[in-house]
Chains A and B, each alone.
Chain A
Amino acid sequence: MEQFYTKSEQIQNIIKGLTLTKTLFVSSIIIGEAHTGKKTLVRTLFPETVAVSGNNQKEVEAALEEHNELIITDFEKLNNQNGLQFDNKRIIAIANHPGNRETIDKLFAFIYTLPPLRDRMEDARYMRSHFFQEACSVLMADEHSFSLENITMDLTHNNQSLKKSVYEQVIYRNMKSKEIEKVLYAYLLEHLDGNNAYKEYLALYEKPLIEAGLQKFGSQLQLSQVLGINRNTLRKKIYEYHIN
Chain B
Amino acid sequence: MNTISIDFKSFVEWDNSPFILFNHLGKILYLNNAAELLFGHVTPKEIYDIALSYAPQNFGYKTTTLSLNYDAFSFYAITVGYENEEQIAIRLYNKPRIKQNIILQKEKLITTDINILLEANIALFKIKNKNHLELFTDQDIPAFKIDQNNFSKLLRKVLDTFRVSDSIFIELKLLIGEHIIIAGKKESIVQLKIEANERDHDVDEEIAALTNNTHIACSLKKHSIRLDIPLIH
Given contacts A10-B127, A88-B108, A113-B127, contact A26 B149 (CB under 8 A): yes
17 CB contacts below 8 A, A to B, read A13-B126, A17-B120, A17-B123, A20-B123, A23-B116, A24-B112, A25-B148, A26-B148, A86-B149, A88-B108, A88-B110, A88-B148, A109-B150, A110-B121, A110-B156, A113-B127, A113-B128
Which residue on A lies nearest to B120, using beta carbons? A20
Contact with B along A188-213 (1 / 0, CB 8 A): 00000000000000000000000000
B116, A87: Cβ atoms closer than 8 Å: no
Instruction: Pick the residue among B108, B127, B152 that contacts A26 (CB under 8 A).
Output: B152
Query: B153 at the A/B interface (Cβ < 8 Å)?
Result: yes
| B98–chain A nearest beta-carbon distance, Å | 28
State in angstroms the CA–CA spacing of A198 and B107 once bound together: 79
Query: A152 at the A/B interface (Cβ < 8 Å)?
Result: no
Contact with B along A1-35 (1 / 0, CB 8 A): 00000000010011011001101111100000000
A21, B149: Cβ atoms closer than 8 Å: no
Query: B124 at the A/B interface (Cβ < 8 Å)?
Result: yes
B148, A24: Cβ atoms closer than 8 Å: yes
Interface SS of A by simple majority = mixed
State in angstroms the CA–CA spacing of A111 and B119 once bound together: 15
Query: B117 at the A/B interface (Cβ < 8 Å)?
Result: yes
* 9 extra interface residue pairs, beta carbon distance < 8 Å, beyond A23-B116, A111-B156: A13-B123, A16-B120, A20-B120, A21-B152, A24-B116, A26-B149, A109-B156, A111-B124, A113-B128
B123, A16: Cβ atoms closer than 8 Å: yes
Query: A131 at the A/B interface (Cβ < 8 Å)?
Result: no
Interface SS of B by simple majority = helix
State in angstroms the CA–CA spacing of A50 and B126 once bound together: 29
Query: A112 at the A/B interface (Cβ < 8 Å)?
Result: yes
| A198–chain B nearest beta-carbon distance, Å | 59
Instruction: Pick the residue among A13, A23, A24, A25 that contacts B124 (CB under 8 A).
Output: A13
A17, B124: Cβ atoms closer than 8 Å: yes
Residues in A neighbouring B121, C-beta threshold 8 A: 17, 110
Residues in B neighbouring A23, C-beta threshold 8 A: 116
Q: Which 3 A-B pairs rank lowest in CB-CB distance, beginning with the nearest?
A: A109-B152, A20-B120, A17-B123
Contact with B along A72-114 (1 / 0, CB 8 A): 0000000000000011100000000000000000001111110
Residues in A neighbouring B117, C-beta threshold 8 A: 21, 24, 26
Contact with A along B144-167 (1 / 0, CB 8 A): 000011101100100000000000
Residues in A neighbouring B152, C-beta threshold 8 A: 21, 24, 26, 109-110
B156, A20: Cβ atoms closer than 8 Å: no
A17, A27, A86, A108 — most chain B CB neighbours (10 Å):
A17
Residues in B neighbouring A112, C-beta threshold 8 A: 124, 127
| B104–chain A nearest beta-carbon distance, Å | 15
Residues in B neighbouring A108, C-beta threshold 8 A: 153
B117, B127, B128, B152 — most chain A CB neighbours (10 Å):
B127
Residues in B neighbouring A13, C-beta threshold 8 A: 123-124, 126-127
